[in-house]
Amino acid sequence: MYRYNKNTVLIMIYDLIIIGAGPAGLAAALDAKYLKLKTLVLDAGVAGGALSQSYPWKGVDSYLGFNNMTGKEVAEKIADHVKSSGADIHEMEEVTDIEGTGPFIVKTEKAEYQANAVIVATGIRGVPRKLSVPGEQLEGVDNQVQDPDKYRGMRVLVVGGGDSAADSAIGLYEAGASVWLAHRRDELRATDENREKLEESKITLLWNTEISSINGDGKVESVSLVNNQTGEKSRLQIDSVILCIGSAPANNCIQSIGVKTENVCIKVDENGMTNIPGIFAAGDIVSKIKRILQALATGEKATYSAYKYIKNPYWK
């Protein structure tokens, strides 16, 4: 179904639009297909979310039945499952704006769509944060590790104190890089498993350490460090710097229509609905536990809640 707006722009009409094609968005889409909702999935990248975009090389061991598979392999498997159901998935199509109070108009760089309900499942990875130090623009400074093997034999400094930093450091070390992990505090916010792997490895941990500058002629050659407790300064010869210091929220189009957020997360009720009736959220964007199974569960909950909302008062 479609209609034209006042500017004669063709608008395709759906029951439900899902923003984000990670595990939560794909689970929501599969359930929507089962419930016979005319559904569109939009993603700025490729289907699979962080599994395929941020950790394609990392082994997945917390998803029942998918052991000995990489993030990319799991992403491809679940994406293929949903695509085979006939779900309408538009990859490489970023949402730029949402208008209305129901039905909603969802705008992208390519088209405009209408839906009675919207599920936001964009994940929490927004615009990577910067250190804002000299040399951050040099070749060899990255915000994620796409392929650890590319760093084999190199000297790499990972900056950060969470699981993203720990995962990157461990992956690089296992691929054959010499790795340093710098954190501005004296303890990591990482899982026990990652802590154990770090302790068992030869990764050098630099506690209470901050980067004052990244040095080099066109590409990274060294970093200048300072201990924020003692004031001691040092210089480390390095080939690459990986910044795992979080990201700034990329929920501008959501916040612009009044959806309430807290830090990088969207606030939802027990049914997965935001403070705006008809707009739901699922996945890492709402969950304290960032795991695939949690994402799938919240995606399914959001779809059933959206179904009840769309079918009201015939379904309560």
67-83 pLDDT, tens digit each: 788 888 999 999 999 99
Same domain, 121 and 257: yes
Query: Residue 267: which CATH number?
Result: 3.50.50.60
| Three-class secondary structure assignment of the chain | CEEECCCCCEEEEEEEEEECCCHHHHHHHHHHHHCCCCEEEECCCCCCCHHHHCCCCCEECCCCCCCCEEHHHHHHHHHHHHHHCCCEEECCCCEEEEECCCCEEEEECCCEEEEEEEEECCCCCCEECCCCCCCCCCECEECCCCCHHHHCCCEEEEECCEHHHHHHHHHHHHCCCEEEEECCCCCCECCHHHHHHHHHCCCEEECCEEEEEEECCCECCEEEEEECCCCCEEEEECCEEEECCCEECCCHHHHCCCCCEECCEECCCCCCECCCCCEEECHHHCCCCCCHHHHHHHHHHHHHHHHHHHHCCCCC
Last residue of a domain, which of 196, 228, 243? Answer: 243
Q: Are residues 189 and 206 in the same domain?
A: yes
Shared domain for 270 and 305, answered yes or no, is yes
Q: Confirm whether 179 is domain-assigned.
A: yes
**Domain match, 229 and 258 both:** no
Q: How confident is the model at residue 288 (pLDDT cuts 50, 70, 90)?
A: confident
Q: Do 36 and 109 reside in the same domain of the chain?
A: yes
Asked if 72 contacts 56 with a C-beta cutoff of 8 angstroms, the reply is yes
Q: 97 lies in a domain? A: yes
| pLDDT greater than 70 at residue 249 | no
Residue 199 lies in a domain: yes
Are residue 133 and residue 236 in the same domain, yes or no?
yes
The answer to whether residue 212 sits within a structural domain is yes
Mean pLDDT to the nearest integer, 32-49: 94
pLDDT at 178 over 80: yes
Whether 138 and 218 share a structural domain = yes
Confidence of residue 314 (pLDDT cuts 50, 70, 90): low
Which of 216, 243, 270 delimits the end of a domain?
A: 243
Is 256 within the bounds of a domain?
yes
- 122 and 222: one domain? no
Is 316 within the bounds of a domain? no
Is pLDDT at 264 greater than 90 in this prediction?
no
* Shared-domain flag, residues 49 and 119: yes
**Can you tell me the distance from the alpha carbon of 273 to that of 203, in angstroms, rounded to the nearest whole number?**
43
Number of domains in the chain: 2
Residue 53 in domain = yes
Q: What is the pLDDT of residue 265?
A: 87
Examine the pLDDT at 313 and tell me if it is beyond 80.
no
Residue of 152 and 3 predicted with greater confidence = 152
Kindly report the pTM of this predicted structure: 0.82
Q: What is the pLDDT at residue 9? A: 59
Q: Which whole number is the average pLDDT over 295-316?
A: 89
Domain that holds residue 274: 2-126+249-311
**What is the pLDDT confidence band of residue 208, given thresholds at 50, 70 and 90?**
very high
Q: Is residue 153 a part of any domain in this protein?
A: yes
Assess whether 177 and 283 both reside in one domain.
no
pLDDT of residue 133: 96
User: pLDDT, tens digit, for every residue of 115-154?
Assistant: 999 999 998 776 788 899 999 999 999 998 989 999 999 9
Predicted confidence at residue 121, as pLDDT, reads 94
- Based on the domain organization, do 113 and 142 belong to the same domain? no
- Domain end position, chosen among 243, 259, 283: 243
Same domain (yes/no): 200, 63: no
Residue 237 has pLDDT above 80, yes or no: yes
